[in-house]
Amino acid sequence: MQATIISGRKDVFFSSKPWTGILQGWARLFICLFFLWVLMTYVAPWGRQTAILRPMMDIVDERGIKVTSYYYTDSEVFAEAEFNITQSLRFPPTGPSE
Amino acid sequence: MQENVKTPKSEIVVDSSGGQWSDLWKKEDYWAIWLGFIILIAGLIIYFPLGPDNAQEKVDKANATLKAEAAKAPFKTIAWYKAGSAKRFRGTETATGKSILSFMRTPQKWTSIPLDAFYRSKAVADSANAKAKPAADEAAAKEAAAFAAAEAAEKAAEAAAFKDDALNKKAAEAIAAWQAARSKASSAKAKASVKPLNVIPSLIGLMIALGIFFGIGRVVMGHSFGAFFKGFIFVFGIAVLAYVGGKQATMSYYGIGDPAWAIIFGMLISNTVGTPKWVMPAVQTEYYIKTGLVLLGAEVLFGKILAIGTPGIFVAWIVTPIVLVGTYIFGQTVVKMPSKTLNITISADMSVCGVSAAIATAAACKAKKEELTLAVGLSLVFTAIMMVAMPAFIKAVGMPYILGGAWMGGTIDSTGAVAAAGAFLSDKALYVAATIKMIQNVLIGVTAFFVALYWVAKVDRIPGQQVSIMEIWYRFPKFVIGFIVASIIYSILDAGLGKEISDNLLNHGAVRGFTRPLREWFFCLAFTSIGLATNFRELAHYFKGGKPLILYVCGQSFNLILTLTMAYIMFYKVFPEITARI
């Protein structure tokens, strides 16, 4: 399989030492993946338990909010919010007339 | 034929001036429109027949109840809330809707074992349900108790003909507590209703379907279907991994979703072992982005801007363009940003609505992929910080929650983070924050259109050259037209169908049940392609001197000050009656 960094137009393999280059590339990939795994498994869960983040994370969990949504239709919470606001403004309780 | 850009063709979208009929089937922009509209029309055909026969009758009956209840008591009664719920007959909750959604589903949420994102056995599902059952039962019992208390309080208020202020206040509070308990019980019930799962067959089916769907366009544009499809399998595979990363329970709390993971995984591959050459025919960032943007157009409904009345329009539609233009000018004159496209992409990303605005603006001004990556990265980092810091600040200074909600809705970039920050304060803050954000989201179309127009007519113009209307048309990115037309057509349908029918069959039907899940996949494929074609060193070059960071921080500071001022004036000085009704 041929492999090339496309945008940089630079081959990742050392031309004179192709196998060293291949091994270095794979080693770098696995080291990076290892760091990501550490981040996911140890650092992020630790942060979630800190006094600053925990209350926010608990609310997110309890309400089932999808924090990763980046457009309003990606989140059901937005549909609920719009529904509640429009109902409140369209049928505002006015109470019994005097 | 004159190229309208100076940068290498492989780096950005290139349109040539001059128009030919063959452009309609040979150019990516047009293919994005055709493919996008095939999906948009299919969504309407699938979901519109799914409404109940007596839909309008049900809506009219519920609205009559709402009107009567609103006139009866000075607070939202139990019947008022129940009538609201009776108006729901969502297309996505029908058998057809559920089947379609299950075909397009992504890997699922997981905690410690990545395989859980793809497969869940019956034994595992039963175990999860058994674990969640006590909490669900407790929440259900609390809801029942809260309902009984609400019913008793309302009866007491009714016995006094709703003229005793103390009893009315007590009833309103009891009903609000019942609503909160109902929401928690619903969430707890969902956690105890886990079903066995195997997303692998549907992922394979979706990969083949999308590969053929995009492959047809590539063939007509003169490329090899086989080469595209072979590469597409790899790109789709990395996109699936990106979804797995984004669905990891802990990371998702921080708002690090599939776009970030798609770029990270793509860049890791391209900068370590290298992106295989045979994958490159499917690394079609612009093709996926433009098609996704045409679909996004259907979600930009102009009727939404009236959702919270005039204060919302002022906070979202007056402040945002001022901040956008102000930040861009600041970037050019004070920060001296070397790249105008990076400047406008960061400005739109920061002032409008984060990632989605960055995608639309970057595509409209033909920004480089590294510039989009940088803008998205900045947005994700600051979103995570603001999501935690803003509600903490609002609580600490004792700011009214509705004002705080409007402030956060107008300034925090990402939709999900706005919801989380709003919910941290109160339900009302959440509703206001979410509604302001939704109104602001509608600005994406306007922003993309004017940025594209400005770039064609001014920025890409040769100095001293007069650009004719026809030249502007030739050079204008045509997918933006598709985006705007999709938005207009769906907005007309939204208005014509009426609020409730539209919400059930358009919003919770054609859009949330069909076009949106596909749009999410297309954007994920686009970000994966960006990662697979990005070099770390090139990315670092754009960050030189920290200018993008300075621009973001200064622009966001201006945004925070202006939004807070406008929200205070609108919600507390000019329209306090609207604030009181919320």
pLDDT tens-digit map of B376-435 = 999 989 998 999 999 999 999 999 999 999 999 999 988 899 999 999 998 889 999 999
pLDDT at residue A4 tops 60: no
Q: Are B293 and B363 in contact (CB under 8 A)?
A: yes
d(CA B41, CA B29): 18
d(CA B494, CA B507): 8
Does B268 lie at the interface with A, CB-CB under 8 angstroms?
Answer: yes
Two tokens at B134?
């006590």
Q: What angle do CA B533, B538, B543 make, to 5 degrees?
A: 125
pLDDT at residue A12 tops 70: no
Closest Cα in chain B to A53: B388
Distance (Å) from the C-alpha of residue B93 to the closest C-alpha of chain A?
13
Each residue's pLDDT expressed in tens, for chain B with a length of 582 residues: 333 434 444 444 444 456 788 888 888 889 999 999 999 999 999 999 988 888 888 899 999 999 999 999 999 999 999 998 888 889 999 999 999 999 999 999 898 889 999 999 999 999 999 999 999 999 999 999 999 999 999 999 999 999 999 999 999 999 999 998 998 898 889 889 999 999 999 999 999 999 999 999 999 999 999 999 999 999 999 999 999 999 998 888 888 889 999 999 999 999 999 999 999 999 999 999 999 999 999 998 888 887 777 888 888 889 999 999 999 999 999 999 999 999 999 999 999 888 889 999 999 999 998 899 999 999 989 998 999 999 999 999 999 999 999 999 999 988 899 999 999 998 889 999 999 999 998 899 899 999 999 998 888 887 777 778 888 888 788 899 999 999 999 999 999 988 899 999 999 999 999 999 999 999 999 999 999 998 888 888 888 889 999 999 999 999 999 999 999 999 998 888 888 877
Residue B418, Cα to own-chain centre: how many angstroms? 11
**What pLDDT is recorded for position A6?**
44
Residues 6+ apart with CB under 8 A from B296: A71, B356, B360, B444, B483, B519
Nearest-10 crossing angle of helices B427-441, B165-191: 70
| Chain A residues touching B268 at Cβ < 8 A | 29, 32-33
Closest listed residue to residue B347, CA positions, set B316, B322, B314:
B322
Closest Cα in chain A to B520: A74
Question: Which residue among A3, A40, A91 places its CB closest to the CB of B66?
Answer: A91
Q: Are B373 and B539 in contact (CB under 8 A)?
A: yes
Going from the C-alpha of B315 to that of each of B6, B419, B438, B560, B561, the distances in angstroms are 38, 17, 12, 11, 12
What DSSP designation does A39 have?
I
**What pLDDT is recorded for position B50?**
87
Distance (Å) from the C-alpha of residue B253 to the closest C-alpha of chain A?
6
DSSP B329-360: HHIIIII--S-HHHHHHHHHIIIIITHHHHHH
Question: Which residue among B276, B356, B419 places its CB closest to the CB of A3?
Answer: B276
Closest Cα in chain B to A19: B273
**What pLDDT is recorded for position A13?**
43
Measured torsion, CA atoms of residues B562, B565, B568, B574, in degrees rounded to the nearest 10: -100
Provide mean pLDDT across the span A56-63: 85
Does B432 lie at the interface with A, CB-CB under 8 angstroms?
Answer: yes
- The bridge status of strand B275-276 relative to strand A3-4 is antiparallel
Closest listed residue to residue B453, CA positions, set B412, B484, B498:
B484
Report the SS3 class of residue A17.
coil
Window 191-230 of B, Cβ < 8 Å to A: none
Window 496-555 of B, Cβ < 8 Å to A: 499, 503, 507-508, 511-512, 516, 520, 532-535, 537-538
B55-67 pLDDT, tens digit each: 888 899 999 999 9
d(CA B124, CA B493): 44
Contact flag A26-B272 (C-beta cutoff 8 Å)? yes
**Residue from B109, B272, B376, B508 whose CB has the most chain A CBs within 10 Å, to mutate:** B272
Contact flag A70-B414 (C-beta cutoff 8 Å)? yes
**What pLDDT is recorded for position B345?**
96
Taking the alpha carbons at both ends of chain B, their separation in whole angstroms is: 57
For tokens 């809330």, the residue is: B81
pLDDT at residue A8 tops 80: no
| Chain A residues touching B533 at Cβ < 8 A | 6-7
d(CA B182, CA B400): 25
Region label for B553, one of left (φ > 0), alpha (ψ between -120 and 50) or beta (otherwise): alpha
Does B454 lie at the interface with A, CB-CB under 8 angstroms?
Answer: no
**What pLDDT is recorded for position B543?**
83
Contact flag B255-A67 (C-beta cutoff 8 Å)? yes
Closest Cα in chain B to A27: B272
| Chain B residues touching A63 at Cβ < 8 A | 183, 187, 423
Closest Cα in chain A to B92: A76
Two tokens at B465?
């050259």
Question: Which residue among B275, B307, B354 places its CB closest to the CB of A4?
Answer: B275
Question: Which residue among B273, B296, B423 places its CB closest to the CB of A63?
Answer: B423
**What sign results for the dihedral spanned by CA atoms B569, B572, B573, B575?**
positive
d(CA B299, CA B483): 10
Element (H, E) at B120: strand B119-120
Report the SS3 class of residue B426.
coil
Closest Cα in chain A to B385: A53
User: How many interface pairs between A and B have CB atoms less than 8 angstroms apart?
Assistant: 248
Question: Which residue among A10, A47, A72 places its CB closest to the CB of B438?
Answer: A72
Exposure string of B540-577, with b = 16+ CB inside 10 Å and e = fewer, is: eebeeeebbbebbebbbebbbebbbebbbebbeeebee
Residues 6+ apart with CB under 8 A from B241: B261, B265
Report the SS3 class of residue A3.
strand
**Residue from A32, A68, A94 whose CB has the most chain B CBs within 10 Å, to mutate:** A68
d(CA B95, CA B101): 10
Q: What angle do CA A52, B415, B497 make, to 5 degrees?
A: 150
Closest listed residue to residue B287, CA positions, set B25, B3, B27:
B27
| Chain B residues touching A53 at Cβ < 8 A | 253, 388
Q: Are B572 and B566 in contact (CB under 8 A)?
A: no
Does B254 lie at the interface with A, CB-CB under 8 angstroms?
Answer: yes
DSSP B294-322: HHHHTT--GGGGGTT-HHHHIIIIIHHHH
| Chain B residues touching A73 at Cβ < 8 A | 299, 507, 511-512, 516
Contact flag B441-A8 (C-beta cutoff 8 Å)? no
Residues 6+ apart with CB under 8 A from B501: B51, B55, B56, B59
pLDDT at residue A80 tops 90: no
Closest Cα in chain B to A45: B250
Closest Cα in chain B to A33: B268
Amino acid at B262: A
Q: Are B297 and B483 in contact (CB under 8 A)?
A: yes
d(CA B549, CA B379): 10
**Residue from A14, A36, A72 whose CB has the most chain B CBs within 10 Å, to mutate:** A72
Contact flag A86-B307 (C-beta cutoff 8 Å)? yes
Residue B147, Cα to own-chain centre: how many angstroms? 34
DSSP B438-473: HHHHTHHHHHHHHHHHHIIIIITSPTTPPPPHHHHH
Contact flag A91-B69 (C-beta cutoff 8 Å)? yes
Closest listed residue to residue A92, CA positions, set B66, B401, B167:
B66
B345-382 pLDDT, tens digit each: 999 999 988 888 999 999 999 999 889 999 999 998 99
**Residue from B415, B436, B490, B534 whose CB has the most chain A CBs within 10 Å, to mutate:** B415
d(CA B496, CA B41): 17
